[in-house]
Amino acid sequence: MLSILDGIMFPMHSLLTVGGKMSPELVDQTILASCKPQFLKVIRIIGDVDRVMNGTKVDFIADRIKALVKAGRLEAAGNLNRWEASEIRLTGK
């Protein structure tokens, strides 16, 4: 699925940068596309997004996950600072 995301959903993602950094909106879209209604480990989602958006810092991806949880777009279980122990899922909003 990730190769589909990289090739179809974001065919020119390298052009969608702000000051040399990946735009938060594009990272958010990739995070949401990687999530499911079932809980998945945060470390898995970070890895999936990192593979699609090569060059995006994993700490930035983690920060965007926290922002999506705060905005109600994702639901979290556990401490989001512990990527290997926490989980996230889509909220349906």
Encode pLDDT of 74-85 as tens digits: 999 999 999 999
Asked if residue 83 is part of any domain, the answer here is yes
Strands 17-18 and 87-90: unpaired
pTM comes to: 0.79
| pLDDT at residue 45 greater than cutoff 60 | yes
Does 15 map to a domain?
no
Total tally of structural domains belonging to the chain: 1
- The CATH number of whichever domain residue 43 belongs to comes to 1.10.10
Query: What pLDDT, on the 0 to 100 scale, is given for residue 3?
Result: 45
Within a domain: residue 61?
Answer: yes
Domain annotation covers residue 19: no
Percent of the chain surpassing pLDDT 90: 70
Q: Which domain holds residue 78?
A: 2-10+24-90
Give the model's pLDDT for residue 22: 75
